[in-house]
Amino acid sequence: MNYGVTQELIDTYGEVIFKLSLNKQTRYGDPVRELDFDAIQEQRAGTGLTDEEIAKKIGLLPEQVSIVRVFVERKYHRIDLHRRLFHLGGGKRWKAAEYQHPEERLSIREDGMKLRESIRFDPDRASYYLENNYWTNETMIGWLNTHASDRPNSLSIISTDFTLTWLELKEEVDKLTNGLLGLGLKKGDVVALQLPNIKEFIVSYIAISAIGGVMQTIYMSHGEKDIEYFLNHSKARATISPDHIKNFFVAEKLCNLRSSSDTLDQVIVVGDDIPDGAINYNDLLVEGVPDVGNPPVGSDPFLLLYTSGTTSNPKGVPLTYHNMLGHARLCAPEFGMTENDKILSVAPFCHLFGLYNYHCTFYAGAATVLLPTFSPPEFAKLVQKVSPTALFMGPAHAAAFREKDLLDSHDFSSVNYSVFSGAACPPDLLKWWKSQTGSLVCQLWGMTELAAGTFSRPDMDENIGFNSAGPVSPGNEIRVVSSESGEELSVGLEGELQIRGSSVFPGYFNNDGANKSAFTKDGWFKTGDLAKINEARCLEITGRTKDIINRGGVKYNPSDVEELIFSHPSVDMVAIVPMPDDVLGEKACCFVKLCEGKKLTLEALIQYLETKKMSKAKWPERLEIIDEMPLTPTRKIIKGRLLELLD
């Protein structure tokens, strides 16, 4: 039923038919009321013709005119105009400049949508978390607004040379939010931060989240190649970084990367040396109340972090407010954190341990003590000056004090507890720290994919903190399963550690391969760690599943051997990896970085192990002395790189 109408006919006559029809009306004067029949007749085409009249005028059939007309009406029709009504009346009048269609206001770029597509939780688990208030509608800016209102003059940030109240922090965040909006950044956009633990990190972090953005962190130690990989993978649209990190002119490199990136648009620089084409962070501090059309909500992703990559290329870990802020809300009371606390994170905020610490501190309304760069003297000086009530740090930070007398010469008495995480924590080191500082010691096991999985609480028996990573964190559950059968193992047996819960990430970003092997069918995340759960339901990490050595069918975890070798006075760092063997399948190769001026042979090492009564089956059969141990930015040994050195 086309009545002879073709697309060509529509194209040719459509516009004039539309114009002549009732769709467009023009009237001069008031001819009908005045019964001026001549004028009425003259104006007929202007006031709108019927289809018959149009057909007669231009030489089409009336039926053809009807069809052509509706096609053109369709072309100009907008379904969504009706919604403009929703913003009018009750004292409100139409102001075109103030109206933004939801499609525009709530739009998220394609890259942002791809990231959101990676946010997929099991619906039953999500319901459980929501029904039990593990997940609520919390956001960073929501927390900041609450603190700025409830405790405006309390300190939110303490540095060696300045402090910032909650109200002042909000004012700074609002200013930067205006600046970021002014750059055209919007919800779903990834902004990469490569900053130390400075005020600008915190302000940027909250401002990015205030516009609905997603913060990606890049470790301070990462160089150009790493940065390029991360920015390309995340599709970041902006970066915030220092002008330089030591002698690496990072801002300039980022400007260069922008030309080869499809997405990177803005390079924001904290510092004085602003390269051409970059934006001075300070220029983005714009006064005014931010008008965020698409504000963040609890289910939004707001973090895109990358695993440290001990086994492969770093993987992108998207995390939602539900995941992280709910987690912090549940964890902060477990540490007894209150708004009166002053919390110092030695761990960098670029790392999830640092962020986790900040989230807990933020939730509690406590003050964050800033330590931009770790060195034992700076750290000790800051503790003495600011008197923090808690420390979040890695064992390496404590170990760095061992051969110095800084703890004796500085007052650490304000520190109620110290939380250690990030690598294996030798009990002796933790005991030593307690004896030197007087602070309670907690141990925390966590991953980028889930923040704190388990941790010992400050009020628990001290031996729990020395010897284990404590019980599971609130909102989560852990189990240890057999690597072979997948069945859950009894108390005290070593197996693969799995975790499920409200803080566990939804899956890796843009990495189907990793996602397939990361979760069990019933939704447990396979951590890749070897562990035991002891009688007290506390976690003892014993190694990594991929570190297991299969020597002629006898499988063993080399971590206890590594621990023993580490106690050798000549050894600075040690790692044991499996090396292929034609007869036994695998044998153990020991990589050692020696202390300065020390020597070690395989024979001497074996003799040492023998005297320490280490089982002969676990003795390494090859020793490689290396000058530098390959480390992640969080100072974990990259065993994958050591395997490459075997050839």
Partner 1 sequence: MDQVNSDSAKEAMRTYVKKKGALAFGVADVEVLEKIAPDGYGPKALMPRVKSVISLGVGGGTKGSWAANAKTLAYIGDTETMAYRIAYGLAFMIEKKFGARSIFCPPDMDPEKGARTPLQSLKLHAEVAGIGARSMAGDILLHPEFGMMYYASVFTELEVPPDSPMEENPCPHPSCVKLHAQTGQTPCMKFCPVDCLSGSVDEEGKLKEMHYDAHACAAMSQQYEAIPNILLDMMDAKDPIERGMAVHSPENQMIWYKLSIGAGELLSLCYECMRVCPITQSSLPIKTESRKGGMREKIAEAEAQATMEKEIESGSAS
- Minimum CB separation of residue 5 from partner 1 in Å reads 15
Residue-by-residue DSSP string for 320-387: EHHHHHHHHHHHGGGGT--TT-EEEE-S-TTSHHHHHHHHHHHHHTPEEEP-SS--HHHHHHHHHHH-
Cβ proximity to partner 1: between 85 and 289 the closer is 85
Cβ proximity to partner 1: between 120 and 598 the closer is 120
Encode 210-237: b = buried (16+ Cβ within 10 Å), e = exposed: bbbbbbbbbbbbbeeebbbebbebbbbb
Residue-by-residue DSSP string for 145-177: HHHHHHSTTSEEEE-SS-EEEHHHHHHHHHHHH
Given a contact cutoff of 8 angstroms between Cβ atoms, the answer to whether 539 and 453 are in contact is yes
Cβ proximity to partner 1: between 89 and 123 the closer is 89
- Minimum CB separation of residue 46 from partner 1 in Å reads 9
CA torsion, points 149, 150, 151, 153, in degrees to nearest 10?
40
Given a contact cutoff of 8 angstroms between Cβ atoms, the answer to whether 405 and 381 are in contact is no
Cβ neighbours of residue 187 closer than 8 Å, sequence gap 6 or more: 106, 108, 112, 211, 212, 213, 294, 296, 300
Report how far apart, in Å, the C-alpha atoms of 78 and of each of 69, 81, 84, 101, 371 are. 16, 6, 12, 12, 56
**Euclidean distance between CA atoms 557 and 529, whole angstroms:** 11
- Minimum CB separation of residue 294 from partner 1 in Å reads 16
Cβ proximity to partner 1: between 73 and 560 the closer is 73
Instruction: Return the amino acid letter for 311.
Output: T
Residue-by-residue DSSP string for 90-110: TTB---GGG---HHHHT---H
**Euclidean distance between CA atoms 35 and 20, whole angstroms:** 23
Report how far apart, in Å, the C-alpha atoms of 610 and of each of 601, 603, 619 are. 14, 10, 9
Cβ proximity to partner 1: between 41 and 490 the closer is 41
Cβ proximity to partner 1: between 47 and 387 the closer is 47
- Minimum CB separation of residue 97 from partner 1 in Å reads 12
**Euclidean distance between CA atoms 346 and 354, whole angstroms:** 8
- Return the closest-CA partner of residue 359 out of 338, 379, 331, 383: 331
- Minimum CB separation of residue 41 from partner 1 in Å reads 9
| C-beta neighbour count of 615 within 10 angstroms | 10
Cβ proximity to partner 1: between 59 and 91 the closer is 91
Where does this chain bind partner 1 (CB under 8 A)?
A: 18, 21-30, 32-35, 37, 40, 44, 48-53, 66, 69-70, 73-74, 76-90, 92-94, 96, 99
Cβ proximity to partner 1: between 40 and 286 the closer is 40
Q: Is 375 buried (19+), middle (13-18) or exposed (0-12) by CB count in 10 A?
A: exposed
- Minimum CB separation of residue 134 from partner 1 in Å reads 28
Cβ proximity to partner 1: between 112 and 376 the closer is 112
- Minimum CB separation of residue 592 from partner 1 in Å reads 55
Cβ proximity to partner 1: between 39 and 279 the closer is 39
- Minimum CB separation of residue 121 from partner 1 in Å reads 18
- Minimum CB separation of residue 9 from partner 1 in Å reads 18
**Euclidean distance between CA atoms 118 and 539, whole angstroms:** 30
- Minimum CB separation of residue 56 from partner 1 in Å reads 9
- Minimum CB separation of residue 28 from partner 1 in Å reads 5
Instruction: Return the amino acid letter for 1.
Output: M
Cβ proximity to partner 1: between 72 and 173 the closer is 72
